[in-house]
Amino acid sequence: MTGLYCVNFAHSRGHWPACKQVWCGSCYTTHALDRFPKHEPVDEEGFNWKPAEEQLRYTQARDGDFLLAPFQCDLCVFRNLQGRNPTNASLQDEMLLCCIRRINLDAVWGRETSTVAATLRSAKTMLRTWQLVGLTPSFPALGPYPVEDSFGYGVAIAMVLKSLDPGRYADHQQFESIRKMRATFSNIFMSSKRGTDSLRSFGGDRAKHVLTDSPTNSLFFERFCQGCVRRMGQEVRQNWAIPLPVIHALLDLLEKDWSFAQTEAEKEVIGLVGAFTVIAFCGSFRGNEVFLADLHGTKKYLESPEVEDGVIIIPLLGRSKGETGDRYHLTPLAATTSSGIQVKLWVSRLVATKAGYGQVRGPLFSTRRGILVSPNMIETELMDRLQGIKDSQGGLIPADVDVLEDFGISRSFR
């Protein structure tokens, strides 16, 4: 019990001979082709001062790993997936074996070394005590498993290969990106005959728990995901909150652009950016929620004598986060805030430009054909102006802030 045992060691797998592969933990190491990303904690100068044993994480297994995560050796998994033995001269087969080794190492590293060591010690103690009284060990059999992909290796292989693609912030994809493949497989599985036949659920109308035999819900796959995200690390970059002085500088710049605009088309673009800015900032909306603003309702409440002075109503038509259906939200905002942000002015300008060419219905943020305007257009116009503010008004936006990377409209400006 001191090594790493393939759970199929005592089973003749159909026409395959019984697998008898056993490794000491330190012998089960990464494949020669392994180039999968591994997060290395370093200081500000790029120096990794972690002890040697910490630097061996995710590169080799440990004695007793098979006691905490179901383990099948590379050859058995290859046979399960391909129905044949690997070909020595095939680079494709070698890459598949590399992926299998990577997935197995991630799965066993889903648990900490101290947990593995404690479990191994306790198991040895139990065996010795049973031996004293001549009792047959009560541990359940660790295998064999059926000759099929019951652990979800196929999806895991797709995930680790996807991680090699270039990402937005690094030369590889982040775990939050590759994990979407698991969700895709689960959705398709639930729509299949096997998924439908195996589906069991309990609970009420609002809260329901679903039971399924999807391979991506297996214990092994859970261990793989835990180990994979720890190996890769997570680089999360929140959008930089836009301070009030920057908002004022942005609106001042837009005001100048408005005064110098020569055509109605130019004014429309400036109006879109200005109205988006004041609604997103003063309403604390996420970007996608601002695009729910309704043109007809906005115009109606701008002209309504029932709306109090000093207030502007922004109607949002659609589904906000956490809601189950489309709704019509009436959001009151200050027409002019205490700091001087003129919300009503910018919204009125946008409504007026649209009325100029006869558009009175549909999304407030739309093209002249009534189609929702591209978020990329709004974001590009905003980023260009914010970069100009950084370059011309030193101190408002710190020098170490990358406007194109750290700003965005997908989240709240707050």
45's CB contacts (< 8 A; 6+ apart) are: none
Both 292 and 391 in a single domain?
Answer: yes
Do 364 and 322 lie in a common domain?
yes
Residue 210: predicted pLDDT? 75
Query: Of the candidates 203, 232, 261, which is a domain's last residue?
Result: 232
What DSSP assignment string belongs to 244-277?
A: HHHHHHHHHHHHHHHHH--SHHHHHHHHHHHHHH
Instruction: Indicate whether 270 and 171 sit together in one domain.
Output: no
Sign of CA dihedral 306, 308, 314, 319: negative
Q: Among 25-39, 78-92, 140-154, 305-319, whose mean pLDDT is lowest?
A: 305-319
Stretch 57-62: mean pLDDT = 93
Which is higher by pLDDT, 32 or 3? 32
Q: Quick one: 322 and 374 in the same domain?
A: yes
Alpha-carbon distance of 401 to 398, in angstroms, equals 6
Structural domain count, the chain: 2
Q: Is the pLDDT of residue 341 over 90?
A: yes
Average pLDDT value for residue range 41-65: 78
Which of 139-153, 227-241, 275-289 comes out lowest in average pLDDT? 227-241
Note the pLDDT of residue 324: 43
Same domain, 265 and 334: yes
**Does residue 183 sit in the same domain as residue 52?**
yes
Structure confidence at residue 409 as a pLDDT band (50, 70, 90):
confident
Nearest-CA neighbor of 246 among 69, 121, 396?
396
**Average pLDDT rounded to a whole number, residues 293-305:** 90
- 194 and 214 inside one domain: yes
pLDDT at 414 (0 to 100): 78
Q: CATH number for the domain including 300?
A: 1.10.443
**Mean pLDDT over each residue of the chain, to the nearest integer:** 87
Q: Which domain holds residue 85?
A: 4-232
Of 31-45, 63-77, 169-183, 215-229, the least confident:
31-45
Please, which residues bridge with residue 237 across strands?
none
Pick the more confident residue, 36 or 409.
36
Residue 412 in domain: no
238 belongs to a structural domain: no
So what's the pLDDT on residue 325? 44
Residues 353 and 260 occupy one common structural domain: yes
pLDDT higher at 325 or 389: 389
Distance separating alpha carbons of residues 256 and 68, to the nearest angstrom: 66
pLDDT at 323: 45
pLDDT at 267: 93
> Would you say the C-alpha torsion 125, 128, 130, 132 has a positive or negative sign?
negative
Lowest-confidence region among 178-182, 387-391, 397-401: 397-401
For 285, what's the count of Cα atoms within 13 Å in the CB-facing half-sphere? 24
What is the separation, in whole angstroms, between the first and last Cα of the chain? Answer: 56
Is residue 31 located within the same domain as residue 178? yes
In this structure, the answer to whether residues 304 and 200 fall within a common structural domain is no
Domain final position from 200, 232, 264: 232
Residue 204 has a pLDDT of 64
Are 30 and 56 members of one domain? yes
pLDDT at site 207: 62
